[in-house]
């Protein structure tokens, strides 16, 4: 029987993993289209949950585990009046809570796997959907904003400009047993994400008008103060404007948006790509079902099923993250009560269990 052809456009993390996930299905021929001449390297790290790591492991043959740094302790701090209050900590002895990887290294590795599997890859800039002919399904993984999406979505997506930027970078250190941490500071949330014995990355979300002069020195001094060390070295600093965008329309005919284009969320909870991985997992499951029945991708309700399965979780999580971010932002009325609210959070074991479960598995049970 002739294979049905799927084209994936965009070779970010979403496009690469979708390519490998769908290539596992019988009866499909997958093509990957990537942009020519990309200049900027993605010098960020990404934290994914243990269940998403398992999914990745199932999709990528012989996953190079050395690229994924496990973490079994996560501490959350709130910058109170005279000290940083550790209001929540997750601590596992026997299993890992998350894995942190360097985006550019994993992308390079996934591309090698794609080439090894002889999946057809093409280099061209797609400016118009008319450039993509002869496919049974098209999956657009073009990142957070692409003009091409306007041909698919209606205008009803949820949008918000946080008027913030995330400053990211890598740090070399010689601290012992550094754990993953999130500091809710007055200037904005700062995450510490260890990805090797002596390196971690940071993500510090700051107001757009935060003075950028000597930002390297400001970051260095803040991190030295938090970790009580003098000996760190910063590299690879980058910055990302922050916004919320939650699409309500996911597809048109046989063209689907996937990845950050479906949901761009604030990085404070490290959940953006975790949602993407759950989307890819569900898409793989749905396409396996319909192709297994011998149905044509053009006429089966796969993309409708995908939307019905994933939209609620994506929107609720995006709004939940927005609410969390809002709670920790400076607020004259709420600030006097935050310490006591957070003290109660730290005593509440049920809440702790629920948040651990949701960050690992998402909302779909």
Ligand X SMILES: Cc1cc2nc3c(=O)[nH]c(=O)nc-3n(C[C@H](O)[C@H](O)[C@H](O)COP(=O)(O)OP(=O)(O)OC[C@H]3O[C@@H](n4cnc5c(N)ncnc54)[C@H](O)[C@@H]3O)c2cc1C
Chain contacts with ligand X (rule: CB under 6 A): 9-15, 33-35, 38, 44, 46-48, 125-126, 141-143, 146, 166, 168, 203, 240, 259-260, 267, 270-274, 276
Measured from the CB atom, is 30 or 47 closer to ligand X?
47
Smallest gap from Cβ 337 to ligand X, in A, equals 29
> C-beta of 25: minimal distance to ligand X in Å?
20
320 contacts 343 by C-beta, under 8 angstroms? no
> Measured from the CB of residue 100, what is the shortest distance to ligand X in angstroms?
7
Q: Could you tell me the two tokens for 220?
A: 């260095």
Please state, in angstroms and rounded to a whole number, the distance separating the CA atoms of residues 192 and 188. Answer: 13
Minimal distance, residue 351 CB to ligand X, in Å: 22
Residue among 143 and 320 whose Cβ is closer to ligand X: 143
77 or 195, CB closer to ligand X? 195
Write down the residue that tokens 């089966």 correspond to.
300
Nearer to ligand X, 102 or 260 (CB): 260
Q: Please, which residues have CB within 8 angstroms of residue 281's CB and are 6 or more apart in sequence?
A: 21, 55
| Residues whose CB falls within 8 Å of the CB of residue 180, separated by 6 or more in sequence, listed in order | 47, 71, 73, 74, 75, 98, 100, 191, 192, 193, 194
Q: Which residue is nearest to ligand X (CB)?
A: 12
Please state, in angstroms and rounded to a whole number, the distance separating the CA atoms of residues 121 and 180. Answer: 37
- Is 85 or 114 the residue whose CB approaches ligand X more closely? 114
- What is the rounded distance in angstroms from the CA atom of residue 55 to the CA atom of residue 52? 5
| Beta partners for residue 194, in sequence order | 200
Residue given tokens 């998402």 in the structure block = 362
Quick one: tokens of 269?
């909870």
CB burial of 71-82 (b: ≥16 within 10 Å; e: otherwise) equals bbbbbbbbbeee
In the complex, minimum distance from the CB of residue 309 to ligand X, in angstroms, rounded to a whole number: 19
For residues 271 and 321, is the Cβ–Cβ distance under 8 A? yes
Between 324 and 346, CB nearer to ligand X: 324
DSSP string, 13-35: HHHHHHHHHHHTSTTEEEEEEE-
Query: How far is residue 229's CA from residue 140's CA, in Å, rounded to a whole number?
Result: 45
Q: Which is closer to ligand X, CB of 150 or CB of 231?
A: 150
Query: How many residues comprise the chain?
Result: 365
**Least Cβ distance, residue 269 to ligand X (angstroms):** 8
| Least Cβ distance, residue 80 to ligand X (angstroms) | 25
Report the nearest approach of ligand X to the CB of residue 323 (Å): 18
Our CB check for ligand X shows the closer of 238 and 346 to be 238
**Quick one: 168 exposed, middle or buried, by C-beta within 10 A (0-12, 13-18, 19+)?**
buried
Nearer to ligand X, 48 or 302 (CB): 48
DSSP assignment string, 227-286 = HT-S--EEEEEEEEEEEEEE-S--EETTEEE-GGGTEE--GGGS-HHHHHHHHHHHHHHH
Question: Shortest Cβ distance from residue 293 to ligand X (Å)?
Answer: 29
The residue (of 144 and 220) whose beta carbon lies closer to ligand X is 144
Taking the complex as a whole, the smallest distance from the CB of residue 168 to ligand X amounts, in Å, to 5
């Amino acid at each position: 029987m002739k294979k049905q052809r799927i084209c994936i456009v965009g070779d970010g993390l979403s496009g690469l993993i979708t390519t490998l996930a769908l290539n596992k299905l019988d009866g499909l021929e997958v093509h990957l289209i990537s942009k020519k001449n990309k200049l900027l390297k993605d010098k960020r790290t990404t934290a994914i949950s243990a269940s998403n790591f398992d999914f990745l492991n199932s999709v990528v043959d012989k996953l190079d585990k050395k690229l994924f740094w496990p973490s079994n302790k996560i501490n959350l701090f709130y910058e109170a009046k005279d000290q940083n209050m550790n209001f929540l900590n997750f601590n596992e002895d026997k299993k890992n809570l998350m894995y942190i990887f360097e985006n550019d290294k994993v992308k390079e590795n996934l591309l090698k796997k794609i080439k090894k599997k002889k999946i057809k890859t093409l280099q061209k800039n797609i400016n118009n959907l008319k450039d993509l002919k002869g496919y049974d399904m098209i999956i657009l993984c073009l990142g957070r904003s692409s003009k091409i999406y306007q041909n698919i979505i209606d205008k009803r997506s949820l949008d918000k400009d946080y008027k913030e930027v995330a400053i990211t970078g890598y740090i070399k250190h010689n601290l012992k047993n550094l754990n993953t941490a999130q500091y809710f500071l007055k200037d904005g949330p700062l995450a510490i994400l260890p990805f090797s014995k002596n390196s971690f990355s940071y993500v510090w979300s700051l107001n757009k008008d935060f003075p950028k002069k000597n930002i390297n020195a400001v970051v260095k001094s803040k991190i030295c103060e938090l970790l009580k060390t003098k000996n760190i070295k910063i590299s690879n600093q980058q910055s990302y404007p922050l916004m919320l965008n939650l699409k309500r329309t996911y597809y048109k005919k046989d063209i689907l948006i996937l990845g950050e284009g479906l949901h761009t969320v604030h990085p404070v909870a490290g959940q953006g790509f975790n949602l993407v991985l759950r989307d890819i997992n569900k898409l793989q499951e749905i396409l396996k079902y319909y192709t297994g029945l011998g149905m044509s991708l053009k006429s089966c309700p796969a993309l409708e099923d995908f939307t019905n399965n994933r939209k609620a979780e994506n929107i609720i999580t995006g709004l939940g993250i927005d609410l969390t971010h809002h709670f920790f932002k400076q607020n004259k009325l709420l600030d006097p009560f935050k310490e006591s609210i957070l003290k109660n959070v730290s005593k509440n074991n049920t809440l702790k269990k629920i948040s651990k479960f949701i960050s690992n598995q998402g909302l779909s049970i």
